[in-house]
Amino acid sequence: MNLDQLKSFKTTITARYSETDSMSYVHHSNYLKYFEIGRLAWFKNVGFSYKKLEEENIILPVIRTNITFRRPAFFEDELILETTLIKVPSYSIEFEYKIFKESELINEGYTKLVFLNKKTNKPIRCPKKIIDAIIN
């Protein structure tokens, strides 16, 4: 499969006052929350609910992350978050994130999550139905 065939999804986020620090910047810790918002929206866009996956005893803890800050975001900024699957998942799933303010790229990030059986805490393969939804 080509990387250009993998799915991306865009989400709009409005920076809330509670997410800013004393310098009026969106605090750096909130970008991981934005990435989570992007992942949840990405999964929903391909037809899956995190909640339903958890009900099926599948959990996805984050095991690696990386963030590059280019420019700050401020209270009430309208941000566009683009979440892109990097490759077809196996035991893990990897996403790249780009956050834009207007058309300017202000933040980039990455997360790697592992598929675990909620009852045993052991790694499992990505469910076939998710792979099918991604490649079709």
The helix or strand, by DSSP H or E, that contains position 101, with its residue range, turns out to be strand 92-101
State the residue range of the domain holding 48: 3-135
Q: Looking at the 3D structure of the chain, how many domains does it have? A: 1
pLDDT 10s digits, 94-117: 999 999 999 999 999 999 999 999
C-alpha–C-alpha distance, residues 61 and 54, integer Å = 11
- CATH code, 39: 3.10.129.10
Asked whether the beta carbons of 97 and 105 are under 8 A apart, the reply is no
The pLDDT assigned to 4 comes to: 55
pLDDT score, position 81: 98
The helix (H) or strand (E) run that includes residue 93 is: strand 92-101
Looking at residue 133, its pLDDT comes to: 86
Amino acid 117: pLDDT: 97
DSSP element (H, E) containing 40: helix 30-45
Q: Measured on CA atoms in the order 60, 31, 106, 41, is the torsion positive or negative?
A: positive
Tens-place pLDDT, residues 23-59: 899 999 999 999 999 999 999 998 898 899 999 999 9
Location of structure tokens 């077809």: 88
* For residue 82, pLDDT beyond 60: yes
